[in-house]
Amino acid sequence: MGDCLKFPKLGLIYAKIHRELKGSIKTVTITKNPCDQYYASILFEDGTKKPQQSIEGNAIGIDLGLTHFAITSEGSKFDNPKWLARHERNLKIKQQQLSRKQKGSNNRNKSRKKVAKVHNKITRCREDFHHKLSRRIVDENQVIVVENLAVRNMVRNRSLSKAISQVGWGQFCTMLKYKAENEGKVYLEVDRFFASSKTCNNCLYQVSDFPLDVRFWDCPSCGIKHIDRDINAARNIRDEGLRIMAVG
């Protein structure tokens, strides 16, 4: 196939192919983004089976957040990349410019293309960040536990920034899942009605109420110092996953 894809009626179309195609092609889906770029998603059967799942190895819990993109039970915090905010500011400017252009004019059309281009840039950069972080987490762990996002959305209040984050979290979790499963690792989502940030990871004592701005706390029951509520939450997520797996 080389650098071309052959389509019925259209003939040979130049294509940049990212990885080796092996096995038999099942379907090809062509999509076009607002920047007039075309993508072909190729589904093929290569005959290999998914490896047997094993839980022998390191387990990690991940808390997805707004102040940090992800916090792990091992105490790592990952932020959204700084340049993302810069691109988002740029998007705002371009959108304002677009809103001032007359409807149906040539300039408006040009301006719309510019907005689409920034949008596209943000989407691809975010995707790249999610790919790299999920790859790293899957490489370093055997069992990956995250909180069920559907549950989270019901429990917590809604706002625009949360809605945007929601999209990112969803994409990130999808990547974690398929990367883990392709390697015989375990990806697990846990429901979090049990209030992970309010439960002491050491003795499971549950604090009754807890303002969001409290970052660290001492457990009134066992006395342990929680120097970071988010890491404590990530540990509870990990342990809940391990508990579920032990029960079967």
Integer angstrom CA distances of residue 45 from 21, 22, 29, 42, 53: 10, 8, 15, 10, 21
Collapsed DSSP state (helix, strand, coil) of residue 32? strand
199 DSSP β-pair partners: 206
Q: Which residues lie closer than 8 Å to 171 by C-beta, 6 or more apart?
A: 126, 127, 130
Tell the smallest beta-carbon distance from residue 243 to Zn ion (Å).
17
Q: How far is the CB of 219 from Zn ion (least distance, A)?
A: 3
DSSP letter at 64 equals: E
Positions marked catalytic: 63, 147, 230
Answer for which of 70, 115, 173, 200 binds Zn ion (CB under 5 A) is 200
Tokens 């006395």 -> residue: 223
Residues 201-230: x where in contact with Zn ion by CB under 5 A, - otherwise, as a string: -xx-x-------------x-xx--------
Residue carrying structure tokens 């007039």: 36
For Zn ion (CB under 5 A), the number of binding residues is: 7
Kindly tell me which of 99 and 221 has the beta carbon lying closer to Zn ion.
221
To Zn ion, the closest distance from the beta carbon of 220 in angstroms equals 8
What is the C-alpha separation between 213 and 68, in angstroms, rounded? 14
Residue 4 engages Zn ion in binding (rule: CB under 5 A): no
Determine the interface stretch with Zn ion among 145-153, 164-172, 195-203, 226-234 (rule: CB under 5 A): 195-203
Which residues contact Zn ion by CB under 5 A? 200, 202-203, 205, 219, 221-222
